[in-house]
Amino acid sequence: MKRVAILLVVATLLMAPSFGSANPNGVGEGTFDAQCGGACHGDADMNRTSASTVSLDVPAVVYEGLLTSVAVTVSGVQTTSTGVLGIFLLSDVTGAEDTPEDDGWTIVSNSEGGTHNYVEVIVAPGVMTYTVEWTLRAPEVGDYRLHAAIHHGAQDGSGAPFFGVSLAPATVEVQPVPANLPRLAEDFQPPVLRTLGETTTVRLTTDAVTDLQVEWRVEGGMTRTAKTTFENEGVWTFEIPASLEPVVVEWRVHLAGDGPTQTTPWLALQSEEPRFTVDETAAYVQAFAILFVTMVVFMSLQRRVPPPGEQPKILPFPNEVMP
């Protein structure tokens, strides 16, 4: 029993780093509140203040249920030698229930090709300004605030992480939608991810629209016009050509009707290689199974070894007659 207890303790210690270690090289994009600005790397109360400046660019007035764009710009970028910089879009900075979703916003996409309020970017050496844009669907009518924050490590990778927040929140007024405003339908959900080599067909559902035009572009490339097809009342389709390498394709729609012409924010579509996914639960179960098999083998071998001072029993060969 003592050997079994020792084996279990050693196994737990070996697996503990995967459960609770810090992540100096980032945690990947996800939905995180402001508390993760320090807690992802250690104790949030030990944060140092970042010297970078964080600002937001948000329309002062948006319409309920429609799409709008929010840009977060980090100036005087400071980060580690790897260039990893974490950027948050928040509804508050209390550290609890302060993601945009907690305030009724819906994140449709971001310029990094995801759908989360937290992104991690790699800033090239010498780049002092970096901007990430989010496309949001507006919540119910009312007044709202949005904040932005960052976290990063030191250049040499030592010490507590740095955390910074926008100096002042952006105030947004959400108003009711005018009846004749050309717009995308409230239930329209744009695609955000596709596989390399695949052409993407987007089906647009609209309200109060009589005509529309779609533009698309690749970062650093020229803006092109997509051919649109009218299917039936309020429904249009268009295609985005396949990508041969991992890139973010952005597209937007100019909507015309009886009301004033509207233009949607740029929507991001990430092209990437097929993802290799691992079921973590299955991996842990398999690891424990291997551990227990190893323990059984180990204990079986221990039983075959005689205690000190005891002579091992020599078994006769099958054809040998016992005296």
Same domain, 112 and 192: no
By C-alpha distance, which of 238, 220, 221 is closest to 229?
238
Of 176, 197, 214, which residue is a domain's last?
176
Same domain, 138 and 80: yes
Same domain, 114 and 209: no
pLDDT for the residue numbered 29: 84
31: left (phi over 0), alpha (psi -120 to 50) or beta: beta
Q: How far apart (Å, rounded) are the C-alpha atoms in residues 151 and 37?
A: 5
Same domain, 54 and 164: yes
Q: How far apart (Å, rounded) are the C-alpha atoms in residues 186 and 190?
A: 11
Band (pLDDT 50/70/90 cuts) for residue 290 is: confident
Q: Per the structure block, which two tokens stand in for 222?
A: 């020229």
Task: Output the CA angle 302-16-38, nearest 5 degrees.
Answer: 170
Q: Is 319 contained in some domain?
A: no
Expressed as residue numbers, the domain containing 136 is 20-176
Q: Is 288 contained in some domain?
A: no
30-51 average pLDDT score: 68
Q: Is pLDDT of 322 > 60?
A: no
Q: Is 48 contained in some domain?
A: yes
What is the number of domains present in the chain?
2
Of 148, 176, 204, which residue is a domain's last?
176
Same domain, 154 and 45: yes
Same domain, 73 and 96: yes
Q: Is 302 contained in some domain?
A: no
More confident site: 287 or 315: 287
Give Cβ neighbours of residue 130 (< 8 Å, ≥ 6 apart): 73, 74, 77, 85, 87, 121, 123
pTM for this prediction:
0.72
Same domain, 33 and 170: yes
Q: Is pLDDT of 220 > 70?
A: yes
Q: Per the structure block, which two tokens stand in for 74?
A: 């980090």
Same domain, 43 and 151: yes
Q: At what angle do helices 2-20 and 280-304 cross, to 10 degrees?
A: 160
Same domain, 150 and 34: yes
53-69 average pLDDT score: 94
pLDDT for the residue numbered 79: 85
Of 158, 176, 194, which residue is a domain's last?
176
Same domain, 207 and 121: no
Q: How far apart (Å, rounded) are the C-alpha atoms in residues 11 and 19?
A: 13
Average pLDDT, the chain: 82
Q: Is 118 contained in some domain?
A: yes
Q: How far apart (Å, rounded) are the C-alpha atoms in residues 243 and 193?
A: 12
What is the torsional sign of CA 8, 10, 15, 21? positive
User: pLDDT tens, 76-119?
Assistant: 998 888 889 999 999 998 877 889 999 999 999 998 888 999 99
CATH number, residue 207 = 2.60.40.10
Helix (H, G, I), strand (E, B) or coil at 319: coil
Q: Is 292 contained in some domain?
A: no
Band (pLDDT 50/70/90 cuts) for residue 39 is: very low
Q: Is 62 contained in some domain?
A: yes
Q: How far apart (Å, rounded) are the C-alpha atoms in residues 147 and 143?
A: 14
Q: Is 164 contained in some domain?
A: yes
Same domain, 54 and 165: yes
* Residue in this structure with the two tokens 């973010």, named with its chain if needed: 248
Q: Is pLDDT of 185 > 90?
A: yes
Q: Per the structure block, which two tokens stand in for 194?
A: 């596709």
251-268 average pLDDT score: 94
Same domain, 37 and 163: yes
